[in-house]
Structure 1
Amino acid sequence: MARQPQLLDQWGRPVQRSSLRQEVSAPTIGGVRSPLSGYPADGLTPDRLAVILREADAGDPVRYLELAETIEERDPHYLGVLGTRRRSVCQIDITVEEGGDTAHDLAMAKLVRDWLDRDELADETFDILDAIGKGYSFTEILWDTSMGQWQPARLEYRDPRWFRFARHDLATPRMIGEGGQEEALPGFKFIFARMRAKSGLALRSGLARIATWGWMFKAYTQRDWAIFTQTYGQPIRIGKYGPDADEKDRETLFRAVANIGGDCAGIIPDKMMIEFIEAKSIGSSTDHYERRADWLDRQISKAVLGQTATTDAETGGLGSGNEHREVQKDIEAADCKALAAILNRDLVRPWIDLEFGPQRAYPRIRITRPEPEDLKAFSDAIGPLVDRGLRVATADVLAKFGLPEAAKKAEILHPQGQIPAQMPPDPAPGDGIPPESEFKYRLNTRPAPAWGHAALQTDRRSTGRTAALAPAEDRLASEAALPVGEMIERIEVMLEAASSLEEAREMILAAWPDLSTDGLVEVLAEAFLAAHAGGRALVEDEADG
């Protein structure tokens, strides 16, 4: 038995095939990979936020990752724009390009292509793109070998809190093992995705690091807005008592004034009075809270989507509309390329190596939004080129128009005026006329071929090889015109007399055995003989020359 080659992962470490069949980073209650999370956003202050970010910079990202998760849960705007960016990539169809033209290259590409045609793929890529917010993500590949072949069973998202980076470079990912010790990632086992909002360490390149400051300042603004509304959004209650009111009367009045805001009811002696004084111009006093919150949201939109027009309903002005949409498309294209590169490196190449061994060329995943194309212009351009000999694959043309390959028994459309190449079989006696759905084609009278002297002269000018045969060709063309013309005249008469395609078909089939072809057969026999003799004469002339 041939020994399997030793495979190396992207870091040059040997791959242990036995460990690939095990789930190595599943969550455990009470263990080092607990699914329970903390909430460092509660009571967040600028000082605490600075400490959390410094901890992440030093290689301890737990509280930063928990804060990033909390912001997505508590800030609808950040969740919306981040989800838009991730889903815009997930819904694009993934294609696979072959690494070469051999049958083996095509088989490898088909293997990957068939696996990608899964309903779960959109959710799996959405989880991988969690790296856009946090800066990186980890996805465990659960391999299936039940059929004797290597194939990914599913891609399982793993909480990034369960991973660290090597202290010497803060770039090499490591996994927290069962004993709490950092371990190297098993080769061919994880998809390690990095999505850079900026250059630098993965712990400092996520959008969440920028969003934390905006979210904290907006939280302060919302809190102040709520306090202001609570305080000045309802009238001020003032209780008045007379000079003869004692301490007990004053306490009764205060309780009534204090509770009437929530209870909207109260009782006081008839010698006391409560007035409601409404604050004026409250609307203008609260506008600055809303403007500040909206301004902070726009900054988040710029950071995540690169623009604001598609999220904040701003129109008009330079850079609006189509220009902002182009910016969003550029970011989407960059995300697509980054995700494709990650999947090719951490999924496709390991899979092919496990199944087939190392290859000179590998199939490649492409994630690209198709650009709108003027199909009419394509049709107008490709027809003349094909007529001039350009070789174009039918599959490529069908793909342009999004059409599948026609089944063998499918009804085929034909150019107007063209008789199908394959005529339907003659009906058996007693079968009757097939229904129209089974026999649809056009019958028309195509003009006889231009076999005359003008056509031959054109052919001579283009080839320069028929001048010696000109007399024979002219005679054959003249003799063939008579029998062909008689056949066409009879068919024309039947078509004019028929009231439907079915009747015309029956008339043609009935008359076909009686159509005389003797003259045409003789002409064709003489034509073949003349062509053979003329060809030999031309060869001898060229040899003598």
Structure 2
Amino acid sequence: MARTSQILGPDGRPIERGTLTQTVAAPAVTGVRRPFSGTIATGLTPERLAGILKRATEGSVADYLTLAEEMEERDPHYAAVLGTRKRAVAGVEPIVTPGDDSPRAGEIADFVRRSIVDQPWFNGMVMDLLDALGKGYAVCEILWETGKRWTPSACPWRDPRYFVLDDTRTTLRLAADGEPKGVELPPGKFVVHMPRIKSGLAVRGGLARLVAWSYLFKAFALKDWVAFIEVYGLPLRLGRYGQSATQKDIDTLVAAVAGIGTDAAAVLPEAMRIEFQGISEGRGGAELFQRLAEYLDGQVSKAVLGQTMTTDDGASLSQAQVHRGVQIDVAQADAGDVARPVNRDLVRVAVDLNHGPQDAYPWLSWPITEPEDTAAVTQQLTGLVPLGLRVRADDVRERLGWAAPEDDDEVLGGAATPTDTPPGDPAPAPQRATRAAPQVTDPHDDVDELVDQIDTAAGPATDALIDQVRAVIDHADTIPEVIARLERLYPDMRLDDLADVIGEAMALADLAGRAEVDDV
């Protein structure tokens, strides 16, 4: 009998160490966990699909899971968008955050990185767990090996049809011969992922259930489209023979008409001919089937990715940015969903087996963040730095994702250091990126100095406006004429430069005020 440890699994039951080193849910040639199954998608009808979905809700999920797998194999579009959603998380480098700031927590976090995250099987396990996005749940079995430490040696995917739902439809049990309701999963042996795509039962939350009807209607559309092409895709071949033609001549003509579609050549007596006639009745039918298939693909994209911009459509940059934001939200939710079972069923058990129960456990996560808009950062720096805003170079490099150069690195940019300046001569001033305005060296200088800088920066724009008004006054004889000329001039007056200076001044004033408040 296996020795019972005092370490409890995620469900509160004690972990039996003897069971951890055994393979529990491997496929077998005979029994309820066979590695092969029949087909469901072949000959699928609306009536059969409705029955499959109904039985899945009642707990008989085998047919539904088989259909979900076949949908990924038969529909390239569904396979592509579902794979994109999986790789959006699986392709991100995971991080391990210690439970607290103590040295002990740091050592445990290092153990998790070495024994789990850095192992060659880890990324495959994550991809296998994300199979739950389509089917509603996914299970990987942990194969432990023991020596000085308990470490997982592999975590293979187990077919979801090897598991059954309990009477509440919320807990998975391992299918077993002679056990219609299955047996309990041994604690510490499985990572079970049930993503929260929608509220309710896990088996009703899989994307395959949502996409199944679109898949079925698209299959009908493609079948009818192919049949249409067979009838209307080729021109009608019409053979003609004269009144004096013999039966042998007619047989020769029939053979020629039948074979010309593949042979593209025929030999006929001089009195016979073959004509190709287009059929106008089928014109426009192909577009109908294509529009239906494209519409259904769009619905699948919306269901899986939450949008269609990055898969089907192409439009403006602003629209693409909005849709990209939707993708990031979906990926962040998926990353949070898969992190919970990995930490609960794998990380915590590994820590308990090797370091004992902890008050705070390390947390394994997949950081998915919005890409930095480098153009916006550059524009802000170009506008504000010449007006006196001081920024730490390290902060800018971090925002842009650039590393600080080492002493022996070849670099681009920066002010050139003069080497041949005669003694006593002033060194050349560094070049500025925008209008030549005196640069503030201290963000806490007097307000008068800031006003002087703004006045200098606004000088060219203000002078241009004054020159326009002066020209109007010089060419007018009366005040009413001046007013009339100014009214006609106003729509054509260029205020963009002055508006830029005012905007930059307001931003600088706000930043200066914030700096003063921070120092108080």
TM-score normalized by structure 2?
0.68
Asked if residue 187 in structure 1 is aligned to residue 192 in structure 2, the reply is no
Change (3 A) 1:162 1:267: same
Q: Counterpart in 2 of 1:126?
A: 127
Which residue does 1:533 correspond to in 2? none
3-state DSSP of counterpart to 1:311 = coil
Cα separation, 1, equivalents of 2:125 and 2:15: 24
- Hey, what's the Cα distance between the residues in 1 that align with 2:235 and 2:371? 60
Deviation at 1:196, TM superposition (A): 3.2
SS, match of residue 6 in structure 1: strand
> Does structure 1 conserve the Cα–Cα contact (< 8 Å) formed by 2:40 and 2:63?
yes
- CA deviations 1:144-198 (Å, max 9, x no partner) are 21x22111112111111111101x2111101112556511111011010012332
Give deviations 1:355-398, integer Å, cap 9, x for gaps: 22222111111211245568999x9667999xxxxxxxxxxx99
Gap change, CA 1:117 and 1:400, over 3 Å in 2 = farther
Q: 1:53 to 1:12 in 2, by over 3 A?
A: same
Match of 2:140 in 1: 139
Output the TM-score relative to the length of structure 1.
0.65
Contact 2:121/2:155, CA 8 A, preserved across alignment:
no
Match of 1:357 in 2: 356
Q: Partner amino acid for 1:57? A: T
> Which structure 1 residue ranges, 5 or more long, are not aligned?
386-396, 413-545
CA distance in 2, matches of 1:249, 1:372: 75
Cα 1:211/1:4, change in 2 over 3 Å: closer
Once residues 12 and 54 of structure 2 are traced to their aligned partners in structure 1, the CA distance between those partners, rounded to angstroms, is: 32
* Separation (CA, whole Å) in 2 of partners of 1:403 and 1:322: 27
2:507 — aligned with what? none
Conserved 8 A contact 1:239-1:275: yes
Separation in 2, partners of 1:328, 1:371? 10
Distance 1:220 1:135 in 2: 26
Distance 1:402 1:262 in 2: 62
Structure 1 residues 469-508: Cα deviation after superposition (integer angstroms, max 9, x where no partner) = xxxxxxxxxxxxxxxxxxxxxxxxxxxxxxxxxxxxxxxx
Give the aligned residue type for 1:217. Answer: F
Partner of 1:296: 296
Alpha-carbon distance change, 384 to 304 in structure 1, aligned in 2, over 3 angstroms: closer
What per-residue deviation string (whole Å, max 9, x for no partner) do you get for residues 9-52 of structure 1? 33332322210111111111233222113221112111121122
In the other structure, the counterpart of 2:416 is none
Which stretch of structure 1 is more off in the superposition, 269-278 or 212-221?
269-278
Once residues 123 and 99 of structure 1 are traced to their aligned partners in structure 2, the CA distance between those partners, rounded to angstroms, is: 26
Q: 2:66 & 2:244 partners in 1: Cα distance?
A: 62
Map 1:50-69 → 2, pairs under 5 A: 50-69=50-69
Distance 1:141 1:225, change over 3 A: same
| Equivalent residue number for residue 117 of structure 1 | 118
AA of the residue aligned to 2:325: E
Q: Match of 1:83?
A: 83
Aligned 8 A contact 2:307 2:323 in 1:
yes
Amino acid aligned to 1:309: M
- Aligned amino acid, residue 129 of structure 2: I
| Aligned position for 1:320 | 319
Cα distance in 2 for residues equivalent to 1:263 and 1:30: 51
Does the 8 Å contact 2:85/2:331 carry over to 1? Answer: yes
State the alpha-carbon separation in 2 of the partners of residues 398 and 254 from structure 1: 78
Q: Is the 8 A contact 1:253 1:268 kept in 2?
A: yes
Query: How high is the sequence identity, in percent, across the aligned residues?
Result: 42
Tell me the residue number matched to 2:513: none
Give the distance between the partners of 1:120 and 1:101, measured in 2 at CA.
29
Q: Residue 21 of structure 2 corresponds to which residue in structure 1? A: 21
| Deviation readout 1:92-132 (Å, 9 max, x if unpaired) | 11111111233322211111122312343222211110011
CA contact (8 A) 1:196 1:206 kept: no
Q: Structure 1 residues 274, 203: closer, same or farther in 2, change over 3 A?
A: same
d(CA) in 2 for partners of 1:91, 1:233 = 44
Question: Measured at CA, do residues 299 and 149 of structure 1 come closer, stay the same or move farther in structure 2, by a change above 3 Å?
Answer: same
SS at match of 1:100: coil
Structure with bigger gyration radius: 1
Separation in 2, partners of 1:302, 1:33: 35
Is the 2:328–2:370 Cα contact (8 Å) retained in structure 1?
no
Distance 1:128 1:70 in 2: 18
- Contact kept, 8 Å, 1:20 with 1:189, in 2: the verdict is yes
The one-letter amino acid paired with 1:331 is V
1:419-478 CA-to-partner distances (Å, cap 9, x unmatched) read xxxxxxxxxxxxxxxxxxxxxxxxxxxxxxxxxxxxxxxxxxxxxxxxxxxxxxxxxxxx
Distance 1:99 1:384 in 2: 28
